[in-house]
Chains A and B, each alone.
Chain A
């Protein structure tokens, strides 16, 4: 069974440019998470989807970040415009359901903003 797939693995952009990350969760997983992980720190939740509905986006900086989950499957996370401080690893995870389920993480996208 395929795991959570993320692309690209690495992205280098100049500040003020837009960038997008893509995530394909494990088949059948209703819940999808986007996390930001800075070096030496734990993952910080940006947004959580239950099917196609964003149920927790309180930590998403909505002035520059946006996300969508079309048809409750794949998801994209976009930053426009990117700032230097956005350099981090962006992790996608999925789980069968919301409450107590195990999260399966993708390999992440490492973003460098120059």
Chain B
């Protein structure tokens, strides 16, 4: 089956520092989606990447899809306390959809 590795598992940052989470797949992907889950909440869709090498930005968040469509990253510039939560990638290859284990971000004010 499809293998997904998301790193790091946890990240503590000081407010204002940058943060990056990486998602790697063992197979070539159709697309990748990113979700955010606040503590005690449910996953909420952030963005979808489809094209090789695609880069999308949402305010302080930058999402990138690798050239080989096997990896992706999410970068947050100047973190804020509202960024706290777990960030999941969801990989789609054919009809298979697999969520990564998530990166839990904690921000110290």
Contact = CB atoms under 8 A, between A and B. Distances in A.
B33 A42 contact: no
Contact of B95 (A44, A98, A103, A105): A98
Contact of B45 (A43, A91, A104, A106): A104
Nearest to A59: B1
A102 interface: yes
A102 B32 CA distance: 11
Given A41-B101, A100-B30, A91 B95 contact: no
B38 to A, nearest CB: 12
B78 interface: no
The prevalent SS among residues of A at the interface is: loop
On chain B, which size bracket covers the interface? 20 to 34
A108 B42 contact: yes
Interface string B84-101: 000010101001011111
A53 interface: no
A43 B95 contact: no
A98 B95 CA distance: 8
A55 to B, nearest CB: 8
Given A100-B31, A104-B45, A105-B43, A42 B101 contact: yes
A102 B47 CA distance: 9
Given A100-B30, A100-B92, A102-B48, A42 B42 contact: no
Contacts of A105: 42-44
Contacts of B95: 55-56, 98
Interface in B24-64: 30-31, 33, 35, 41-45, 48, 50
